[in-house]
Homo-oligomer: A and B are copies of this chain.
Amino acid sequence: MKRESNSKLKIIPLGGLEQIGMNITAFEYEDSIIVVDCGLAFPEDDMLGIDLVIPDITYLKDNIQKVKGFVITHGHEDHIGALSYVLKEMNLPIYATKLTMGIIENKLKEHNLLRCTRRKVVRHGQSINLGQFRIEFIKTNHSIADASALAIYSPAGIVVHTGDFKVDYTPVFGDAIDLQRFAEIGKKGVLALMSDSTNAERPGFTMSERTVGKTFDQIFAEHRNTRIIIATFASNVDRVQQIINSAYKYDRKVVVEGRSMVNIISTASELGYLNVPDKTLIEIDQLKNYPDEKTVLITTGSQGESMAALSRMAADIHKKVSIKPGDTVIFSSNPIPGNEKAVSRVINELSQKGADVIFQDAHVSGHACQEELKLIYSLVKPKYAIPVHGEYRHLKANAGIATALGIPKENVFILKSGEVLALDNQSAKVVDKVQTGAILVDGLGVGDVGNIVLRDRQHLAEDGILIVVLTLEKGTNQLLAGPDIVSRGFVYVRESEGLMEEARQVLSDALENCLRNNRNADWSRIKLVIRDTMNDFIWKRTKRRPMILPIIMDV
């Protein structure tokens, strides 16, 4: 490492703060920038028609000569999902652990980026050098295998970034979180700790993933005579492992259903993260060769996503599986905030078909609760605390833990995306703000849907549209045809013929008036008359405000 310098380390979150999702943070020291994670966010309710959201990386593009690469903590969409989009704009190497890289590679393949992207698999305990940074990968536990915390060594000091983590003393696969290493680095003196705030409002400890296995065993023991269907997150390989274990113990064959589930399980198996006993997995078409009580289906759809396998089974539109009375369906998941109603809808549909639905105790979180956060703070003993990964309420709860443990309030930073925190052993302070934002992806379009389009979609969704068309004679503004009124999403026309006819009459009168008094009225004036007249009339009669769109042609 270089001698101590006078420069400061800059930490620049480009997303992931004040929201769950779109995690991406730049670390800058003089001529070197590294980027930790590159995630997507799922669209908010008011982002109508949007498929996904990726971060604005203008700051990275403006400093492209400094940027050394992407360091990825784990393979969840909110940490890797924007890579395929961002790499198209700046081709940089990716550093990640084995399973994480396997999942990334699946995505790069889909986007035709695999061959042109440099990738390096890093082991836990190993370090990589990127410019003036050294980054060490530290073993943690999370709801996906192979998650890492990062110790980021810079000439200005060490930053420990937990990634998404929990403390699992008895993980299903591999080692427990490397608490000793956190302590060792803490002993050296850590400048700042950036820790996962997702569960910072929750007291206590998150239970071990292994407890879910016990629940499965119990449910399997109690339901020996029915088919069992279990919905869970595709990426939770350890969860799938435990289902396979219970199935094997109770002599059932396992079918995996749902595209993302099949993909991740095949990647995890290839890379050795999943241990499937011989002849346990069968194809969905083989189901008919086994009695129901000898089978288990593992499926996507635990969030009530309408196109996922479980939802299709519940709605009776799945091609190969129908729900039968007596089926035992387990939700091995909690609804993510915002999905509660969708999940409930699927539970209702399943119940109605006679399935026995179990949605309690078959899930644990992948994120640290308050006592785990206290443990990490106490091992790392950072000078500064920077809560990350959460909405404001979660960041604030994490900040409260930091101060309760003795970190002075002025050393705790709840940052906003884009803020540049410059820090070293003497001081830390927000010195700048860089451009950040949410780029909306809709179909093939990246960034071509903005606020105006969203506002229009909202307006159309609320009250529909009334289109007024008319044809004028060039030069004379003589009305040759129209006004015709066409509506969509406003009222059921056949039931409202009277209203529409009356609207046309009122509009004709207003137009005639406008054109007679003002033979040279320009089109913007005519359109204004149309809008005002229609808005008034429709509001008075219906108390609704559809979009009014006048279109004028001339011949």
Contacts and interface: CB of A to CB of B under 8 A. Distances in A.
A456 B488 contact: yes
A456 B459 CA distance: 13
A387 to B, nearest CB: 12
A549 B49 contact: no
Contact of A453 (B357, B449, B490, B549): B490
A442 interface: yes
Given A49-B462, A467-B467, A491-B453, A555 B393 contact: no
Contacts of A442: 463, 542, 544
A348 B488 contact: no
A319 interface: no
B351 A484 contact: no
A475 interface: no
A471 to B, nearest CB: 5
A277 interface: no
Contacts of A450: 492
Contacts of A18: 348
Nearest to A338: B341
Copies of this chain present: 2
Interface residues of A, number: 66
A543 B52 CA distance: 14
Interface string A92-125: 0000000000000000000000000000000000
A48 B549 contact: no
A481 B472 CA distance: 11
Interface of A: 18, 45, 48-49, 337-338, 340-341, 344, 347-349, 351-352, 357, 391-393, 396, 442-445, 447-450, 452-454, 456-465, 467, 469-471, 480-482, 484, 486, 488-492, 495-496, 541-544, 547, 549, 551, 553-555
13 contacts: A18-B348, A45-B341, A338-B340, A352-B392, A448-B491, A453-B492, A456-B489, A460-B488, A465-B465, A467-B549, A481-B554, A551-B551, A555-B555
